[in-house]
Chains A and B, each alone.
Chain A
Amino acid sequence: MRRALTVIHALGLMLVVFSVAYVIPVATALIYADGTLLLDFLLAMVWTVAAGVLMWMLTRRHKGELSIRHGYLLVVTMWTAMPVFATIPLLLVIPDLSFTDAYFETMSGMTTTGATVLTGLDTLPPAINIWRHELNWLGGLGIIVLAVAVLPLLGIGGRQLFKAETPGPMKESALTPRIADTARSLWVVYVAITLACIGALKWAGMDWLDAVCHAFSAMGLGGFSTHDASVGYFNSPLIEFVMIVFMLLAVLNFSTHFLALRAKSLRVYLHDAEAVASLVLILSSCFGIAFFLWWNDVYPEFLTALRHASFNLVSIATSSGYASVDYAQWPIFAPLWMMFLTAIAASSGSTGGGIKMMRTLVLVKQAGREFLRLLHPAVVNPMKIGGHVVPNSIVFAVLGFIFLYFMTIVTLTFVLLISGMDFISAFTAVLASVNNCGPGLGTVGPASNYQGLTDFQTWVCTFGMLVGRLEIFTVLILFTPHFWRR
């Protein structure tokens, strides 16, 4: 119990920091001279600060060093508590919104999933829209720092590998001052690319509000949009192209971006085995799917096919979840292949979800090792990624992670099937939630959203998003008896 109190102490502080995020919607409300919204957001801010201060004050006797166990608990409580407070403005402004739906929406934002239960997005007040998108952006920021600086220390499912693979300043393993440095440099890169994205989208033809909102959700690979028709609303190849570029940037490891910026050289990307694999896989899939669609006469012209295939495939594969057309109508191979890419294509240390390319590489190489071992029983062939040897302990951790990942998907799919959903909808809803992608197929496809789900199904998907975002182990470890044993 003492452990929980120490964590609550830290969480209180985090909430106070989080309340700073309300500044952006408050400013938006001011710009659009929306008095009631301004009050609502200020109220939400006050409540959050008050709750944070209260938690902090009440537990100040339990202030102490955070150990690794505290780390798991803190990360999970942070990712569950912040969406709770983030629902306040939504509940205040949107009438008839249940807490279940509001929490799904904010969780979807903070986990950069981008699935929504709201319709009539076009008519939502600007401040609310910007708040939803800001959650995407903050979630992305949080996950990069978490993935690069914190999770490796917890050693989850081969996470150490990602740290070992990050060259330069991230190589240190000391827990204390380096994390702050690392986090700061990543923030700078993230903010810089976001600003560039806002500028590019404005230039491509969006108004300022749309540009900011879409830049926020694109960088977080969230996929929230200010329009019910998503990016299809703009019907502009230029906007789609700009978004493809920035989604591809966001799906790469941000420490690689940092190194590339510092070295002012693109060669850095070539040395990142993950980045190369991700980009090759995504880009070749674009052409493949475009050809497939053209071949099947979905689109009469190859270039049209390429345009729609590229945007939707990049959007889904990077786990963003925008749509420009209803790709659920395409022959089933194409959308399923896109869902498959979601699971593997994102780099570690990016804002994308799923297994991550690094673990995929480990799996593929492990399979190769097994073949070699069968042919040459005496062989010694350590796994190497990017020229570095990966210790077996990490390989086991990755295998364990993959097992849990599949079990999570299977179990949650069964739960949704029990609740009465059809198979394709249940399976893709779970896949889209756990991979933090957003839209699935069937009733949760790109043309509709998660509004039609029952409360129970909504909670299952909410849980799926949280588990997927926090790399499964982090959440499930809290359910093991050993965690709570002294």
Chain B
Amino acid sequence: MTTRKSSWILCVAASMMLALAALPPVEKTMAAGPSTVDVKIDNFSFAPATLTVKAGTQITWTNGDDIPHTVVSDDHAFKSKVLDTDEKFTFMASKAGTYSYFCSIHPKMTGKVVVE
């Protein structure tokens, strides 16, 4: 009985250690923050123009043009300030849905973010 109890405790302890051992990679992911995706603004267009991401993804737009642009979703779920050359705008895509967006200065520039 004593032996069996010890084995049981050992087993539990081993499971706990295993569980602990499994933790560090999880912590690593947490330390790196949520997954991130970049959208480049070049030549008056968004690339990629359509982006599909998992909820919890952080999206960053960077303006590579010599002309300012904005990133504004049609439903105003996100709206950047005016981005001059090399300026960035970040949006945390937390809610599932399809977000159509455009540059409010050059409305021919349109894009779409699909959050799953």
Bound pair: A and B? no
Q: Which residue numbers of A lie inside 8 Å of B, CB to CB?
A: none
Chain B residues within 8 Å of A, Cβ to Cβ: none
